[in-house]
Amino acid sequence: MSECTRQQEIVALVRAGRWPDGCEDDARAHVAACADCTESVQIAMLLTDDYRAALRTARVPGSGLVWWRMQRRAREEAARNAARVVTLVQGICVVLGIALAVQILGAENLTHAFARWNLPLILGLTLTLALAPAVVAVYLALSGD
Amino acid sequence: MTHDLVMNDALTGVDSRAGTDTAHGPMDEDAFRAFYDRTSRAVWVYLARVTGDRQLADDLLQEVFYRFFRARATHTDEAHRRNSLFCFATNIARDANRRKVRTRHEAVPVDLEENAEVLRVDARVAERFEASTDLARAMATLKPVQREMLWLAYALGSSHAEIAEILGIRSGSVKILLLRARRKMAALLGRPAREKR
């Protein structure tokens, strides 16, 4: 199957509203002799007319309203994403806090706990607990959303 | 052709001058609103024709522009930007068509007696919205990709390369697929398709 090479030119004439009166005799003669172009003209006329009629009746919301809705939706999505990150960090903090409490309370006294258990690990856990919310806050403040 | 038509006649080149100064990086509010004013009606009509559902097109229009805007893509020119927008519209309409098919399978039977008035109103609305025309029936019978192709080629005047870009198919396949779609459409409209050469 192959199609006529002048088809796009003929369709462009229809779309420009130049068919049949505003075009050259040569184009009209070609369409009369070419079944491909005849079919294309018929379909192009139908679809172009339908498109123009639909454009006239189309009711779309104003650009200001669409922009405002988009901004609101973007903010809501950003808030949801932030809430997810915060919840995750909270979960990690709770787990670390429980681990820390178990280690400290399980020992006879605080000095013993530090001595018996791994001091760097306890300090690490404490620092993580203290800094995690700050890191999240900085991330959320600096992220594009 | 009215000013509105010209301003919304996306992909035609009629308004290719419009927006060329802003068609590069991500858009600010003014650029977005101007672009929306130029293209929204054409996108809405495309969605309505490809899904066959004007109400659905109302819902999808906002989604198309939202996803397009959130992508924050850079475009080489206004035509590239419009093609990208129609690419979003195509994908969103395809998703909606798939959801529609699933919903139809799960549809609850309607009590015709009880909903007679609603159905009468729906019928009037449908009539007003050209649902009963030959063209609408023929479009509804075509495969979604055929509807998309015919609309892009004949209503919006897109080139084969643009159609390939928007529909995500190989440029070389457009010609033959479009030819088949056109012949099927002609047959559905009562104009016998030409014999294969």
pLDDT tens column, A22-56: 888 888 899 999 988 999 999 999 899 899 888 88
pLDDT at A71: 92
On the question of pLDDT at B157 being above 50, the answer is yes
pLDDT at A69: 93
Sequence-distant (6+) residues with CB within 8 A of B74 are B24, B25, B26
DSSP code of residue A23: S
- Retrieve residue B60's tokens: 């999808």
Q: Give the Å distances, CA to CA, from A26 to A7, A11, A30, B176.
A: 14, 15, 6, 26
In terms of pTM, does the model score above 0.90? no
> In this complex, do A11 and B154 lie within 8 Å of one another by their Cβ atoms?
yes
> In this complex, do B155 and A58 lie within 8 Å of one another by their Cβ atoms?
no
Min Cα distance B145 → chain A (Å) is: 16
Cα angle B141, B90, B158 (rounded to 5 degrees) comes to 90
Could you give the number of structural domains in chain A? 2
**Three-state SS string across A96-110, please?**
HHHHHHHHHHHCCCH
Q: Residue type for A142, please? A: L
For the ranges A93-97, B69-73, B87-91, the one whose mean pLDDT is highest? B87-91
Average per-residue pLDDT for chain B: 77
**Domain shared by A102 and A133, yes or no:** yes
B157 → closest Cβ in A11, A67, A74: A11
On the question of pLDDT at B62 being above 70, the answer is yes
> In this complex, do A50 and B153 lie within 8 Å of one another by their Cβ atoms?
no
Closest CA to B69 of B26, B21, B33, B10: B26
pLDDT at A84: 84
Percent of chain B with pLDDT over 90: 46
Confidence band for A2, pLDDT divided at 50, 70 and 90: low
**Average pLDDT rounded to a whole number, residues B94-102:** 83
**Average pLDDT rounded to a whole number, residues B118-130:** 49
Confidence band for B106, pLDDT divided at 50, 70 and 90: low
**Domain shared by A101 and A73, yes or no:** yes
On the question of pLDDT at B107 being above 60, the answer is no
- Has residue A1 been placed in a domain? no
**Domain shared by A86 and A113, yes or no:** yes
H/E stretch holding A125? helix A119-142
> In this complex, do A3 and B183 lie within 8 Å of one another by their Cβ atoms?
no
- Has residue A2 been placed in a domain? no
Instruction: From chain A, pick out residues whose CB is under 8 angstroms from the CB of B29.
Output: 67
Confidence band for B150, pLDDT divided at 50, 70 and 90: very high
DSSP three-state, residue A22: coil
Q: Which domains does chain B have, with CATH numbers?
A: 1-107 (1.10.1740), 142-197 (1.10.10.10)
**Domain shared by A97 and A122, yes or no:** yes
Instruction: From chain A, pick out residues whose CB is under 8 angstroms from the CB of B44.
Output: 58, 60
Question: Domain end: A57, A81, A97, which one?
Answer: A57
pLDDT at B155: 92
**Average pLDDT rounded to a whole number, residues B163-182:** 92
**Domain shared by A70 and A109, yes or no:** yes
Instruction: From chain B, pick out residues whose CB is under 8 angstroms from the CB of A63.
Output: 32-34, 36-37, 40
pLDDT at B115: 53
**Three-state SS string across chain B, please?**
CCHHHHHHCCCCCCCCCCCCCCCCCCCCHHHHHHHHHHHHHHHHHHHHHHHCCHHHHHHHHHHHHHHHHHHCCCCCCHHHHHHHHHHHHHHHHHHHHHHHHHHHHCCCCCCCCCCHHHHHHHHHHHHHCCCCCHHHHHHHHCCHHHHHHHHHHHHCCCCHHHHHHHHCCCHHHHHHHHHHHHHHHHHHCCCCCCCCC
Min Cα distance A70 → chain B (Å) is: 6
Identify whether the C-beta of residue B4 lies closer than 8 Å to the C-beta of residue A55: yes
Q: Of residues B31 and A95, which shows the higher confidence score?
A: B31
**Domain shared by A15 and A47, yes or no:** yes
On the question of pLDDT at A66 being above 80, the answer is yes
Positive or negative torsion for Cα B85, B91, B94, B99: negative
Question: CA torsion, points B17, B18, B20, B24, in degrees to nearest 10?
Answer: -150
CA-based nearest residue in chain B for residue A72: B66
**Domain shared by A52 and A79, yes or no:** no
Backbone Cα Rg of chain B? 18
Identify whether the C-beta of residue A117 lies closer than 8 Å to the C-beta of residue A106: no
pLDDT at B65: 95
d(CA B36, CA A42): 31
Percent of chain A with pLDDT over 70: 81
**Domain shared by A84 and A20, yes or no:** no
**Domain shared by A21 and A69, yes or no:** no
Sequence-distant (6+) residues with CB within 8 A of A20 are A28
> In this complex, do A51 and B41 lie within 8 Å of one another by their Cβ atoms?
no
Largest CA distance in chain B: 58
On the question of pLDDT at B18 being above 80, the answer is no
Q: Of residues A68 and B4, which shows the higher confidence score?
A: A68
On the question of pLDDT at A105 being above 80, the answer is no
A48 → closest Cβ in B155, B185, B186: B155
- Retrieve residue A122's tokens: 């306890």
Confidence band for A144, pLDDT divided at 50, 70 and 90: low
On the question of pLDDT at B127 being above 70, the answer is no
**Domain shared by A135 and A79, yes or no:** yes
Question: Domain end: A33, A57, A81, which one?
Answer: A57
Cα angle A33, A39, A42 (rounded to 5 degrees) comes to 115
**Domain shared by A74 and A125, yes or no:** yes
A63 → closest Cβ in B8, B33, B159: B33
- Retrieve residue A37's tokens: 């172009």
Query: Can you give the residue range of the structural domain that contains A23?
Result: 7-57
Average per-residue pLDDT for chain A: 81
**Domain shared by A21 and A39, yes or no:** yes
> In this complex, do B194 and A47 lie within 8 Å of one another by their Cβ atoms?
no
On the question of pLDDT at A13 being above 70, the answer is yes
pLDDT at B179: 92
